Amino acid sequence: MRLSRLNIKKINLDNIDSNYSGQDILMKLGELYQFESGIYGYGNLWIKLERIVEEIIIDELDKVGCIQVEFPKLQPRKIWDQSDRWDTYTKDGDIMFTLNNNLGEYGLSPTAEECATIFGANRLSSYKNLPAIYYQIGEKFRKEIRTRGYLFRSRTFVMMDAYSFDKTEEDMQKTYKLMHKVYLNIFNRLGIKIIPTISDNGVIGGKVAEEFQAITNLGEDKTLYDEKNNIGINKEIFKLDNNNEYLEQLGVKNINKLKEYSTVELGNNFQLGTKYSERMKAFYIDENNEKKPYYMGCYGIGVGRIIAYLIENNVIREKNKVRGFVLPYNIAPYKVQIIYNENHKKTAEKLYNYLIQNNISTIIDDRENLTIGNKIKDVYVLGTPKMIVLGNKFDGNNYEIEDVKTSSIKLASLDNIANML
């Protein structure tokens, strides 16, 4: 990518939001645009990072046989009446954006249990078709009264939601455990330390639920963490009358020994049982030619919230002053940034073409009338983990590959530079 084509704005890092510095940098660059509270448009950097996160999610889900599908974002009221959730989402909780016109009443999808149940029942008519897991990645809409932290809590957001169909409760629990492992693999590949956390089922329903929480001082959740067993419990549980049931799941007698952390929820899993299949009359034919309801599970990962977390968790500060953010190499949209003065323009172009040919996503800072010093500052606001500077000290042969986060340098010739990145 030629940096001149990104048309990023010049920003002053002295005026950056001290809490949500990374996302505020993108806002000021023009790479994240707020149309209204909780409603955003996304630039090139965000979209590329979103694709990388999605590719990791898709890869791990596909490995265990999940099938990617797509459900409508505009959903008719009648299917929500079948599940008896229309009033829950439009009146009691007031979560869903709704439309009412001469065609009827509709809701913008905050979740998709209804669509998934209908879709699954249409395809999974026999016990021979089970188990099955369908997933989608797309935009969701929720009427958040209090938005917070840019993409940490917004009204439109991208998420992965999956839905499983099993014959029995035991089979459902096996699928639930399988998806638990899949989630741990996803977060491990993203470099996120995650706490599997016992939680309430909320309006989704079912018997058992867990959240996947990440430690951050920006989090709005409070999680008590058993580090030895790598399990936590959301403190919201203690507000429930039946909190003893959840404490039994935790298996810890003295919760005072657990350490409390501020966390942000990046994913969740639910054992739904037959709640939706029975209400919506979604059945399969079993081995005895009898109709049986599916045992279902649902699983969600907040793609947008993951990106927000990755950006904020990798903010660089020097003497309490924000310098920018640097993303890990494996998930960075652009791996390398080439900076040069006019004396080395041809060499920089040759290097750029070489890296692109070797499938290394690269930015070349081809903007004119900027000093090398000013160009280096912008490396930190684009999240690029490596930079190569062709300045007055460059001898024409030995390229210095600098790690932006640690400032460590490796020397390489053009022939082996791709292997050293």
Q: Please give the full DSSP string across 281-300, using - where no structure is assigned.
A: T-EEE-TTS-EEEPEEEEEE
Side-chain-side CA neighbours of 355 within 13 Å: the count stands at: 26
What pLDDT digit, counting tens, does each position of 347-360 carry? Answer: 999 999 999 999 99
Per-residue pLDDT of the chain (421 residues; tens, 9 = 90+): 999 998 888 888 888 888 999 999 999 999 999 999 999 999 999 999 999 999 999 999 999 999 999 999 999 999 999 999 999 999 877 899 999 999 999 999 999 999 999 999 999 999 999 999 999 999 999 999 889 999 999 999 999 999 999 999 999 999 999 999 999 999 999 999 999 998 887 777 777 889 999 999 999 999 999 888 888 999 888 787 777 777 777 776 677 778 999 999 999 999 999 999 999 999 999 999 999 999 999 999 999 999 999 999 999 998 889 999 999 999 999 999 999 998 899 999 999 999 999 999 999 999 988 899 989 999 999 999 999 999 888 888 889 999 999 999 999 988 888 888 8
Query: Of 39, 46, 36, nearest to 6 (Cα)?
Result: 46
Contact by Cβ (8 Å): 409, 402: yes
Q: Which domains does the chain have, with CATH numbers?
A: 21-313 (3.30.930.10), 334-420 (3.40.50.800)
Q: How many C-beta atoms lie closer than 10 Å to residue 325's C-beta?
A: 25
Q: In terms of DSSP bridges, do strands 362-364 and 336-340 run parallel, antiparallel, or are they unpaired? A: parallel
Here the tokens at position 409 are 């340098």
CA atoms of 337 and 346, how far apart (whole Å)? 16
Contact by Cβ (8 Å): 263, 222: yes
Q: What is the pTM of this model?
A: 0.94
pLDDT in the model for residue 284 = 97
Strands of the sheet containing 98-101, edge to edge, are 74-76, 104-108, 98-101
Q: In terms of DSSP bridges, do strands 132-141 and 104-108 run parallel, antiparallel, or are they unpaired? A: unpaired
Give the largest CA-CA distance in the chain: 81
Q: What is the DSSP letter of 385?
A: S
CA atoms of 330 and 303, how far apart (whole Å)? 17
